[in-house]
Amino acid sequence: MDNPKLIVNSFASAFADAIESQNSLAINISDFDELNLYTAQAKVKGFGWLDSIPPETQYDFIVANLPIGMRREKFQIGNEEISVI
């Protein structure tokens, strides 16, 4: 069987290529090994990821490595509050 990390990375890379992504973001919150999403232009780690990116930056593709069983958190983005896993 192929390495699961390689499968996920290959899928994310192919998806980014298919949508012609120009500016992608990889968020790693999980305690498990980082997926090393090498196709992302920006990479952030931990629950403070939102503070790690410039506030006006826009991404056309975002992929996240999230822990299983995570509860939703509320974030204020501009004038809107959203719930994010």
φ, ψ for residue 28 (rounded to 5)?
-115, 110
Q: What confidence score (pLDDT) does residue 35 get?
A: 64
User: What global pTM score does this model have?
Assistant: 0.67
Please state the separation of Cα 24 from the chain's center in Å: 8
Q: What is the pLDDT at residue 14?
A: 87
pLDDT higher than threshold 60 for residue 1: no
Closest CA to 63 of 81, 10, 2, 32: 10
Tally of domains within the chain: 1
Per the CB < 8 A criterion, the answer to whether 73 and 84 are in contact is yes
Model confidence pLDDT, tens digit, residues 21-71: 999 888 888 766 656 666 778 888 888 888 888 888 899 998 888 777 666
User: If DSSP codes are grouped into helix, strand and coil, which group holds residue 31?
Assistant: coil
Domain ranges, residue 16: 4-84
Q: In the numeric block, which tokens belong to residue 39?
A: 């196709």
